[in-house]
Structure 1
């Protein structure tokens, strides 16, 4: 026999706030998609909907958001104080703690229609997906991502301000690059210093540090290595972190330890022209694939088309990579409030590579770049 459920509920309905409005918007989106309830476990979707930055544990934490009926946040009993102290505690949503010997999936299922359609967050662990399937054998599971991403990709002015702060924080790190990037040091040594600076300059989490020197710069997602940086090496530095508000930064700049090879100068000027053209082209109504083509056409015309290996960019917010994706084949029109990277690159295998990346927000008038350090090649 399971231990009794121990609910904690607000004694009065919470007033409408932007956070509670998000819950209703998610409900409405689910209803339009024919989904009876959303099941949201720890991650960006849960933080977006409730403000709760929950630990991803083997124990189930899950926001259960029925289209018809009251939502509740199911948490392990030992996590209930943290959930109550988080912004979720002020939403007026019932917080249901479950004890160690209880079955949380059965608790959720008892409040849900047995034969309903359930939208699961895209990053729910497989073991939890299967447990919900077992607890709701007559139900149908679908992804909640298509509905939630439509909400998350359109940033509010407050979210744009948070991204602007994150962009300024990572800009301060790039502005200090001469402190660490020197001939004779390894990529790993430089990366360690950069990571410390990311934390010191306004982030609570270091998400990634790429230092690609010489031929390593031709690998877009190069991992830090023990390669020693030499005179004349071009270096690609792509860095990002997460601020206390939960919003991410991501910016790439290129450096050279002394004068780089002449070919690098040529390809970098092509890349700079392409990236400038793309950031200038951001406006409501242009499609993601059209924006991708603006820079790709410049790079192709200069003879480097096959060396532009990846999409132009990705959305950014509570995750570094989210909708909208700026890629060929996407006819999605850009809208005010959408935030994304513009990061064309040129990579010559075995020689060197270059990438320039800014986070840009689509506005009613055009686009706003959130990264303002110089985009020209910096020679140290």
Structure 2
């Protein structure tokens, strides 16, 4: 999601103000955000958490500040954080006390969900009069509604992973192992423009009935159904995630019949997406078709998950989630049917809610592809 320095600074300022407003509405006095997707979203800064505290301090009333070890201060050069008050500290100084001194007499502090316990407990001790809670209820409201630049990044990610799936049939050859196919896919994901391959699932035969199988030394055989679920982040951080199901050779009658049910279920869920309907209703649109065909017990996971700077984030497309969909929300639609010990199948696209429906960022065919 490239932009000019001025545009990036304006975007950060707007996101910080939205975060302040959202925190104020729920009575939170300050947000403390350590490295991770939330910090990247709010500031554009990409860092890793470790024992030395780095954190954005965002009081609802007052200016933001950034705490960082002195030895890491040069890494902030050119970032929007440089416009803030940057508080540096050296080994031997208590960074939690430094953060607390800047926050003042706050009563409710919300911290990033992935903040290490070392820092959560340090802040608790440095702010004995304050309650510590998760910032997730505040930040998810911002992050699950993608702006135009984020949607464009998801489109790019979708096109990149589609280019990899286009090559997959040539690698699914009887006599090769899942691991060998996985190596080809991993290399292609990076060549297609991703920063890395975040996950590669090549589930052949009975392994395809395990939704989170990765790869193994199992040798592909003629007639195997193969689930290929792959994705990763582009350099700017937005992720791809797409699943297609293949067959080595020609599928049998049972496979064709079950897969036809799965295709109808996935298409029905996509067709059901529009503003104002619940996330749960999208799950039910897919699940009802699979259930009515007699395969309900073999659909063992939710229909989808949100995606953006994380592969899995809000909103979750699952029974019981009464969240009303809004334009800009992005998530997967990936029903599956899995027969333990035999085979499985899944179809997954990423969709973005539009003003009157949705846009799929993945464009590869949904047919069961013979290799």
Query: What range is the shorter-chain TM-score in?
Result: over 0.9
Moved more, 45-54 or 56-65: 56-65
1:324 pairs, out of 315, 327, 342, with: 315
Q: Separation in 2 of the partners of 1:377 and 1:271?
A: 10
Does residue 74 (structure 1) correspond to residue 42 (structure 2)? The answer is no
Aligned Cα root-mean-square deviation (Å): 1.5
Does residue 125 (structure 1) correspond to residue 116 (structure 2)? The answer is yes
Contact 1:236 1:354 (C-alpha < 8 Å) held by counterparts: yes
Aligned positions, number: 366
Matches within 5 A, 1:133-212: 133-212=124-203
Task: Give 1:236's aligned residue.
Answer: 227
Structure 1 SS opposite 2:62: coil
Structure 1 SS opposite 2:232: strand
Task: Give 1:93's aligned residue.
Answer: 84
Deviations 1:265-303 (A, max 9, x none): 111000001101111111111111111111100001100
Contact 1:54 1:83 (C-alpha < 8 Å) held by counterparts: no
Task: Give 1:372's aligned residue.
Answer: 363
Q: Separation in 2 of the partners of 1:97 and 1:229?
A: 55
Task: Give 2:26's aligned residue.
Answer: 33
Q: Separation in 1 of the partners of 2:261 and 2:49?
A: 44
Q: Separation in 1 of the partners of 2:8 and 2:180?
A: 51
Given the two structures, how large is their TM-score scaled by the length of structure 1?
Answer: 0.94
Matches within 5 A, 1:270-281: 270-281=261-272
How far apart are residue 179 of structure 1 and its match? 3.0
Deviations 1:179-209 (A, max 9, x none): 3221111111111111111111010021100
How far apart are residue 14 of structure 1 and its match? 11
2:246 pairs, out of 246, 255, 258, with: 255
Q: Separation in 2 of the partners of 1:306 and 1:64?
A: 47
How far apart are residue 78 of structure 1 and its match? 1.4
Does residue 17 (structure 1) correspond to residue 10 (structure 2)? The answer is yes
Given the two structures, how large is their TM-score scaled by the length of structure 2?
Answer: 0.96
Moved more, 334-343 or 182-191: 182-191
Contact 2:68 2:86 (C-alpha < 8 Å) held by counterparts: yes
How far apart are residue 77 of structure 1 and its match? 1.2
Structure 1 SS opposite 2:122: helix
Task: Give 1:219's aligned residue.
Answer: 210
Q: Separation in 2 of the partners of 1:256 and 1:78?
A: 53
How far apart are residue 16 of structure 1 and its match? 7.0
Task: Give 2:287's aligned residue.
Answer: 296
Moved more, 21-30 or 54-63: 54-63
Q: Separation in 1 of the partners of 2:193 and 2:338?
A: 31
How far apart are residue 358 of structure 1 and its match? 0.1
Q: Separation in 2 of the partners of 1:94 and 1:194?
A: 44
Contact 2:272 2:282 (C-alpha < 8 Å) held by counterparts: yes
Q: Separation in 2 of the partners of 1:369 and 1:205?
A: 23
Residues 85, 100 of structure 1: CA spacing in aligned structure 2 closer, same or farther, 3 A cutoff? farther
Moved more, 157-166 or 97-106: 97-106
Moved more, 122-131 or 354-363: 122-131
How far apart are residue 94 of structure 1 and its match? 1.7
How far apart are residue 114 of structure 1 and its match? 3.7
How far apart are residue 69 of structure 1 and its match? 1.5
How far apart are residue 84 of structure 1 and its match? 2.4
Contact 1:84 1:95 (C-alpha < 8 Å) held by counterparts: no
Instruction: Provide runs of 4+ in structure 1 moved above 4 Å.
Output: 13-16
Task: Give 1:48's aligned residue.
Answer: 41
Task: Give 2:346's aligned residue.
Answer: 355
Task: Give 1:102's aligned residue.
Answer: 93
Moved more, 265-274 or 97-106: 97-106
Does residue 287 (structure 1) correspond to residue 283 (structure 2)? The answer is no
Structure 2: gaps spanning 5 or more residues: 1-5
Structure 2 SS opposite 1:329: coil
Structure 1: gaps spanning 5 or more residues: 1-12
1:267 pairs, out of 233, 253, 258, with: 258
Q: Separation in 2 of the partners of 1:132 and 1:262?
A: 61
Structure 2 SS opposite 1:225: coil
Structure 2 SS opposite 1:368: strand
